[in-house]
Amino acid sequence: MLQEVRTHFTALKQTVGNQPVVFLDGPAGTQVPDQVIESMVRYYHQSNANTHGQFANAHETDDMMEQTRQDAAAFLNAPESGCISFGQNMTTLAFALARAFGRIFKPGDEVLITQLDHEANRGPWLTLRDQGIIVREIRLKPEGVLDYDDFHQKLNERTRLVCVGGASNFTGTVNDLALIRQATYQSGAWMLVDAVHYAPHFLIDVQALGCDFLLCSAYKFYGPHVGILYAKPGLLSQLPTDRLRTQDPVAPYRIETGTLNHAAIAGVQGAIHWMASWGDGNSLRDRLDTAYQRIRAHEYQLARKLYEGLIHLSGITVVGPDMDVALRAPTLSFYHHRLTADEVCKQLGEQGIFAWDGNFYAIRAAEVLGLLERGGVTRMGISMYTVPRDIERTLEVLATIS
């Protein structure tokens, strides 16, 4: 199956120095399959128009938008398409939510964030401090996992919102969302999940999670740059969001400011169906379920191969938890004892191996783990199109870097 996956990506034909490129940069955004690109081009060729017009292209755009909401609802197992809103990206949607929360929270109310999260799931909520809202951090342990005892100690009757990531783009840690959800049920707080790094690797079920809000971005799962918001039925309508007088005041539209990127949203639909095409079943959700089982098995096998290779290389230390099925996304970060992360990535890049260096906007985690001043870490991510030879070649090159 996975060899066939590679034939869907023209981008994988790229070479550097007559060597095929190894794309381990997926955590910052995956390559896009031809089918998804074609769905966007097809929209421009055949359906390009604004919404709510009285002519064919406008009707087609309306239909595409609604169908993509339905497909995104299937992707997240949301109960209805009206739970799905689109935006420029996850960060933009998070700031919009923060402004709305700020109008209903009162001074002295509390919000919990984590030291592990991407800044997009920290910065928007930190702005609430300007209104007298108390924002507390859940501590990050040295091994790269959250301190759940600290979480329980800080969660109290004043907590209105708990914001947590599904998986860390810095350490690969998968957080215990069920534990957090159970505690927030008992306290009465809302739970918001940043699933941007989680969505490419684990099938999301918002109803099983019980989360109130969830955010993800299609460019991490083989689509274009579009942010996706799930809000539990009835919740978005409670929030005083920024909107124009001419804007539909009901969910899911009440948070969608301006004209959306319709072609990109067509690409979201294309990405969801492309991922589902690797599964079996009668419904879109069934196909996604079986596809994700195969994706997980493939990615985990290669991530373990990379992990085992890294821990046996001298002068390299892997950051984050051990390679456990329940605890890790297929994302591995490490630091070199002699070279900075950018020096490592430069040498890798010269040999056609694309990896990222820095803190990846998880700057607080880098600070807490003592890795910020050294320039962060080198990060490598496994994607659907990664193959064993990519890992073997990467480890061979890393062994020669100095």
Express each pLDDT in 199-246 by its tens digit. Answer: 999 999 999 999 999 999 999 999 999 999 999 999 999 999 999 999
Which DSSP symbol is given to 329? -
Contact between 33 and 384 under an 8 Å Cβ cutoff? The reply is no
pLDDT digits (tens, 9 = 90+) for 299-316: 999 999 999 999 999 999
Is the model's pTM score more than 0.95?
yes
Q: The CATH number of 39-276 is which of 3.10.180.10, 3.10.690.10, 2.40.440.10, 3.40.640.10? A: 3.40.640.10
Residue 385 pLDDT > 70: yes
Q: Determine the pLDDT at residue 1.
A: 60
- The alpha carbon of 85 is separated from its chain's Cα centroid by a whole number of angstroms, namely 16
Q: Is the pLDDT reported for residue 122 higher than 70? A: yes
Mean pLDDT (the chain, rounded): 97
Assess contact for 153 and 396: CB atoms under 8 A: no
pLDDT, tens digit, 9 for 90 and up, residues 316-359: 999 999 988 777 999 999 999 999 999 999 999 999 999 999 99
SS (H, E, C) the chain: CHHHHHCCCHHHHCEECCEECEECCHHHCCCCCHHHHHHHHHHHHHCCCCCCCCCHHHHHHHHHHHHHHHHHHHHHCCCCHHHEEEECCHHHHHHHHHHHHHHHCCCCCEEEEECCCCHHHCHHHHHHHHHCCEEEEECECCCCCECHHHHHHHCCCCEEEEEEECECCCCCEECCHHHHHHHHHHHCCEEEEECCCCCCCCCCCHHHHCCCEEEEEHHHCCCCCCEEEEECCCCHHHCCCCCCCCCCCCCCHHHCCCCCCHHHHHHHHHHHHHHHCCCCCCCHHHHHHHHHHHHHHHHHHHHHHHHHHHHCCCCEEEECCCCCCCCECCEEEEEECCCCHHHHHHHHHHCCEECEEECCCCHHHHHHCCCCCCCCEEEEECCCCCCHHHHHHHHHHHCCCC
Query: In the chain, what are the domain boundaries?
Result: 2-33+284-398, 39-276
Q: Which CATH class is domain 2-33+284-398?
A: alpha beta
Per-residue pLDDT, 150: 99
Q: pLDDT band at 3, cuts 50/70/90?
A: confident
What is the percent of the chain where pLDDT is above 70?
Answer: 99
How high is the pLDDT of residue 167? 99
Whether the pLDDT of residue 175 is over 80: the answer is yes
Predicted pLDDT of residue 2: 67
pLDDT tens-digit readout, 278-297: 999 999 999 999 999 999 99
Q: Is the pLDDT of residue 7 over 70?
A: yes
Residues contacting residue 361 through CB under 8 Å, at least 6 positions apart: 118, 119, 120, 169
Kindly state the average pLDDT of the residues 347-376.
98
- Given this model, what pLDDT does residue 326 score? 73
Tell me if 2-33+284-398 shares its fold with 39-276.
no
Question: What confidence score (pLDDT) does residue 206 get?
Answer: 99
pLDDT of 90: 98
